[in-house]
């Protein structure tokens, strides 16, 4: 009898060891819809080229498209998309409008946009730009929504206090350079390119302003999300994706020379641009998943009447 028990224990242990080995070595493919942005392309390159995705048993099948299209692919599961990049406020709004259940489970990057003006301009704070022409992404975009929250928090209103000119980041960069607008909201990459010339300056960084008001410098901006049923059916993929993205963020923070290695992806050319990006870009990639910061953002957006109602369910997976 004792011998049978020993044999059974060995069989169970061997089966468990075999399953554990298979789980560690099983590569799972995830189809992801990414917004066509330099900082996301950089993150993906690090995940793939530095073996981080492979280490976590992932093969990432990524489709790039403009931000609104990337969100649509996720929402409608276009071409078998399982996971996608989306703004946390967009999740709350979309779930209510379309009666679906999107859930975010890891941040890809935090708000990294700044309001940039020409160095010789008379504008030194947001209030100075009242009535001025300001270039930014269109209504409904993540960028617009996040800046609406930021402005309202500061007691300003995008529609009331500024003459908004809508366009893509490249269009808005050109408009600022040509003098068609007095200021432009630009992402971290474009901001570095402009500041490195010495002919432009940052009026204020939204993250710093937010930190002064809320005691948190973290403004969640773009997350990886999926439909709730997919998340419940694929907990292993969710876990692997979260761990891989966070590991990539840590790797970027510790290896700022990656900025120079991937300067082509980031659209950087001059040493001044590269050095400035080494200082600024790594900090936008969060080192931890912070659902509480996301909930605080959604609560603030509701208080400011920027979303119709708070989510009835938790939309940020612990």
Give residue 187's pLDDT.
Answer: 85
CA distances from 162 to 89, 141, 146, 158, 213 (A): 22, 17, 16, 6, 22
Q: Tens digit of pLDDT for each residue in 31-67?
A: 999 999 899 999 999 999 999 999 999 999 999 998 8
Same-domain pairing of 145 and 232:
no
Give the total number of structural domains in the chain: 2
Which of 19-33, 266-280, 282-296 comes out lowest in average pLDDT?
A: 19-33
Same-domain pairing of 139 and 62:
no
Residue span of the structural domain in which 150 resides: 114-214
Q: Tens digit of pLDDT for each residue in 119-170?
A: 999 999 888 999 999 999 888 777 888 888 888 888 889 999 999 999 988 8
As a whole number of angstroms, the distance between CA 124 and CA 201 comes to 9
Task: With a cut of 60, say whether residue 18 has pLDDT above it.
Answer: no
Over residues 113-122, mean pLDDT: 92
Asked whether residue 46 is assigned to any structural domain, the reply reads yes
As a whole number of angstroms, the distance between CA 187 and CA 202 comes to 12
Task: With a cut of 90, say whether residue 285 has pLDDT above it.
Answer: yes
Asked whether residue 314 is assigned to any structural domain, the reply reads no
Task: With a cut of 60, say whether residue 241 has pLDDT above it.
Answer: yes
Q: Residue 250 in contact with residue 265, Cβ under 8 Å?
A: no
As a whole number of angstroms, the distance between CA 254 and CA 262 comes to 15
Last residue of a domain, one of 214, 235, 263: 214
Give residue 145's pLDDT.
Answer: 81
Asked whether residue 311 is assigned to any structural domain, the reply reads no
Give residue 8's pLDDT.
Answer: 56
Same-domain pairing of 184 and 99:
no
Asked whether residue 243 is assigned to any structural domain, the reply reads yes
Asked whether residue 310 is assigned to any structural domain, the reply reads no
Give residue 247's pLDDT.
Answer: 98
Give residue 212's pLDDT.
Answer: 57
Same-domain pairing of 95 and 235:
yes
Which of 58-67, 90-99, 301-310 comes out lowest in average pLDDT?
A: 301-310
CATH number at residue 183: 3.40.190.10
Same-domain pairing of 121 and 85:
no
pLDDT band at 306 (very low <50, low <70, confident <90, very high): confident
Radius of gyration of the chain (CA): 22
pLDDT band at 21 (very low <50, low <70, confident <90, very high): very low
Asked whether residue 315 is assigned to any structural domain, the reply reads no
Tokens of 194: 């402009």
Q: Tens digit of pLDDT for each residue in 204-233?
A: 766 566 655 555 566 889 999 999 999 999
Same-domain pairing of 224 and 199:
no
Give residue 16's pLDDT.
Answer: 46
Same-domain pairing of 225 and 253:
yes
Buried b (16+ CB within 10 A) or exposed e, 143-160: bbbbbbbbbbbbebebee
Same-domain pairing of 208 and 246:
no
Give residue 120's pLDDT.
Answer: 95
Same-domain pairing of 29 and 103:
yes
Asked whether residue 205 is assigned to any structural domain, the reply reads yes
Q: Tens digit of pLDDT for each residue in 197-209?
A: 999 999 876 656 6
Residues in Cβ contact with 115 at an 8 Å cutoff, skipping those fewer than 6 apart: 126, 129, 134, 183, 184, 185, 202, 203, 204, 206
Same-domain pairing of 162 and 252:
no
Give residue 214's pLDDT.
Answer: 55
Same-domain pairing of 58 and 105:
yes
Same-domain pairing of 180 and 257:
no
Give residue 25's pLDDT.
Answer: 61
Last residue of a domain, one of 187, 214, 241: 214
Asked whether residue 309 is assigned to any structural domain, the reply reads no
Mean pLDDT score across all residues of the chain: 88
Which of 137-146, 178-187, 202-211, 304-313 comes out lowest in average pLDDT?
A: 202-211
Task: With a cut of 80, say whether residue 20 has pLDDT above it.
Answer: no
């Amino acid at each position: 009898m004792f011998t049978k028990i020993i044999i059974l224990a060995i069989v169970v242990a061997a089966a468990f060891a075999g399953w554990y080995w298979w789980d560690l070595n099983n590569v799972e493919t995830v189809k992801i819809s990414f917004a066509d942005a330099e900082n996301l392309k950089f993150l993906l390159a690090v995940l793939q080229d530095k073996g981080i995705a492979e280490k976590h048993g992932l093969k990432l099948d990524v489709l790039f498209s403009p931000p609104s299209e990337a969100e649509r692919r996720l929402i409608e599961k276009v071409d078998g998309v399982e996971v996608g990049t989306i703004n946390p406020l967009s999740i709350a709004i979309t779930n209510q409008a379309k009666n679906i259940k999107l859930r975010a489970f890891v941040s890809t990057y935090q708000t990294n946009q700044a309001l940039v003006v020409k160095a010789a301009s008379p504008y030194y704070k947001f209030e100075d730009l009242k009535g001025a022409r300001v270039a930014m992404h269109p209504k409904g975009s993540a960028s617009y929504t996040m800046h609406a929250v930021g402005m309202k928090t500061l007691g300003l209103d995008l529609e009331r206090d500024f003459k908004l000119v809508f366009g893509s980041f490249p269009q808005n960069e050109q408009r600022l350079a040509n003098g068609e607008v007095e200021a432009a909201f630009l992402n971290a990459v474009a901001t570095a390119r402009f500041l490195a010339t010495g002919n432009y300056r940052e009026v204020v960084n939204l993250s710093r302003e937010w930190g002064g008001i809320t005691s948190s410098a973290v403004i969640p901006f773009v997350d990886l999300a999926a439909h709730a049923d997919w998340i419940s059916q694929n907990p292993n993929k969710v876990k692997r994706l979260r761990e891989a993205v966070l590991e990539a963020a840590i790797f970027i923070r510790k290896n700022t020379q990656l900025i120079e290695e991937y300067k082509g992806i980031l659209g950087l050319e001059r040493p001044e641009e590269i050095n400035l990006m080494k200082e600024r870009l790594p900090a936008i990639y969060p080192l931890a998943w912070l659902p509480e910061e996301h909930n605080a953002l959604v609560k603030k957006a509701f208080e400011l009447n920027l979303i119709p109602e708070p989510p009835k369910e938790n939309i940020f997976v612990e």
